[in-house]
Amino acid sequence: MQIKPTSIIAFLAISTMYVCLSCLGMGALGEYFWLFDLFSHFRLQYIALLTGAGMILLMIGRWRHGGLSLLVAMVLVMPILFKYYWQPSTVQAIPQPNSVSLLSFNVLTSNKNKQAVVDYIGDSKPDFAFVMETDSQWVAALKTLEERYPYSVFQPESNNFGLSFLSQHKIVDYRIERLEAGLATLIVYVEIEGTLLRIIGTHPVPPVGKLNSKQRDSQLIKVADLINEEPSIPTVIAGDLNASIWSHAFKKLKARAKLNEPTHGYGLQTTWMSSSILFAIPIDHILGNHLIRFLGKKVDVPLGSDHNPLWVEFSVVPEYVAF
């Protein structure tokens, strides 16, 4: 018996559709089993595969499956377009005081392009730079920027979880908290034109395995609790959170601390493994409480790291409430 090529194509396309639907279902249950949570991060890939499978199925006359595949893809993509790409006209009506910029960059401990990263920070001149995976060699390289960044905090580690913070503005106070698994979380208080701003930098472990997943979740919950201890202070949290926007851990962090992210009009860009179509996901984030007004966001080139630098521009707006 001869199998028609269209039958093989239909089988592959339908199989792709059902695999994507299964992965989406497992991702939705990530709170209950660590392995399922890993499937939650690849929403963009599922949309692309469902769209491709649906178009192929329609072209070969498989209307029911093709329509279903495209319908699911549309249901998945519409919230992303609305939340990250559509900019309400009300945004322009909100006053925009003097703004500052923050760079969050996981530079990768083994990255040999240290001078390129240092030059990048020096040339682009963010007001603040939170740099992750900084060992003693990275700290030595970053300290060459001390003339431009006279206020700095360095916490080198040899385990890929060192943190560094560079600031053009006066650091009033700071502390290092070991919230989970002995990993450092940096809490810095800076003064901007008489206003106190708190910046929290954190980098939990990747959620690969039951223990690591629990430690990541616990660290993000403890960060949320830190924010809630002083709700009246304008606060920004930055870092490689090892959780995409679709992960239950990220959603819980936002909800528990009532955080906003730069969304409307700024787009959704991947920040880890961006050169790989299969694995590129957005796991680096900068969030703010109700006293932070985001004015811009961009993702830049990785400079030898497996992460891309993430930039935001923001201002402190008393009594600002996100829509």
Question: Which has the closest alpha carbon to 265: 313, 301, 317?
Answer: 313
Domain 90-316 in CATH 3.60.10.10: yes
Neighbours of 94 (CB within 10 A): 13
**DSSP line for 148-185:** T--EEEEE--SSS--EEEEESS-EEEEEEEEEETTEEE
Residues of the chain with pLDDT under 70: 1-3, 88-97, 318-323
> And the tokens for 46?
């599922």
Question: Which has the closest alpha carbon to 18: 93, 69, 74?
Answer: 69
Question: Which has the closest alpha carbon to 135: 156, 114, 153?
Answer: 156
Neighbours of 193 (CB within 10 A): 9
Span(s) in the chain for CATH 3.60.10.10? 90-316
